[in-house]
Chain A
Amino acid sequence: GQQLNQSPQSMFIQEGEDVSMNCTSSSIFNTWLWYKQDPGEGPVLLIALYKAGELTSNGRLTAQFGITRKDSFLNISASIPSDVGIYFCATPRDGTASKLTFGTGTRLQVTL
């Protein structure tokens, strides 16, 4: 089945640093979603991408839909302690927007 691999698996950074993570697949997709899961909470949608090459920002977060349509990238600038959590990419499966496949996740830790 389709699998979304995220890299890195975990990151330990200092407050103020920029962060980059990516999500790759062997399949082509028309939609890429980025979610964040705070500790003890459910995932929350951060950014949705619908077009190859698209670059979309949400505050300090910027996500890009890869040109090949097989990958996506998420950058966080000037990280702060509340950025701590697990970041997931997700794509609709089988052409059904309701059936999401989630990536393996990138765990972010921010130290002061």
Chain B
Amino acid sequence: DTAVSQTPKYLVTQMGNDKSIKCEQNLGHDTMYWYKQDSKKFLKIMFSYNNKELIINETVPNRFSPKSPDKAHLNLHINSLELGDSAVYFCASSHLGGEQFFGPGTRLTVL
């Protein structure tokens, strides 16, 4: 009965690989987000989708491509992974403009 779930919890991969992180929410929210938390714990928004439409797209490399197949899912695909992509990635969801509920995070390590 987890509200916002992410898979995988941990992801270790080599530089240059392509990987995806999946997010699902069962709260009936219409807006979903991806955040990146770096090693210093700075938390920064990357993308947001409302009803499957992209509404926030911060300055993020083109190697990052979010995809929302439906309102309950927002996946993050990363091409050509780099060392600097190592971080914890959090998915979140909300009603538009409402309280954001965060997932447990995916710790990505690029070797």
Q: How far is the CB of B97 from chain A (nearest CB, A)?
A: 4
Contact pick for A42, options B41, B50, B96, B104, CB 8 Å: B104
- CB–CB B42/A100 < 8 A: no
Q: How far is the CB of A88 from chain B (nearest CB, A)?
A: 7
Instruction: Give the nearest-CB partner of B97 in chain A.
Output: A97
- CB–CB A99/B48 < 8 A: yes
Classify the secondary structure of A's interface with B. strand
Classify the secondary structure of B's interface with A. strand
- CB–CB B92/A42 < 8 A: yes
Contacting residues, chain A, for B96 (C-beta < 8 A): 97-98
- CB–CB A45/B100 < 8 A: yes
Given contacts A42-B90, A42-B92, contact A100 B45 (CB under 8 A): yes
| Range, interface on chain B | 20 to 34
- CB–CB A86/B41 < 8 A: yes
Q: Does A104 contact B (CB under 8 A)?
A: yes
Contacting residues, chain A, for B105 (C-beta < 8 A): 40-42
Interface residues of B in 37-55 (CB under 8 A from A): 41-45, 48, 50, 55
Q: Does A73 contact B (CB under 8 A)?
A: no
> What 6 pairs between A and B have smallest CB-CB spacing?
A42-B102, A97-B97, A102-B43, A42-B90, A105-B41, A43-B102
Can you name 12 extra interface pairs (CB under 8 A) apart from A100-B45, A100-B100, A102-B42? A42-B4, A42-B90, A42-B102, A42-B103, A96-B97, A97-B96, A97-B98, A98-B31, A98-B33, A98-B97, A99-B48, A107-B41
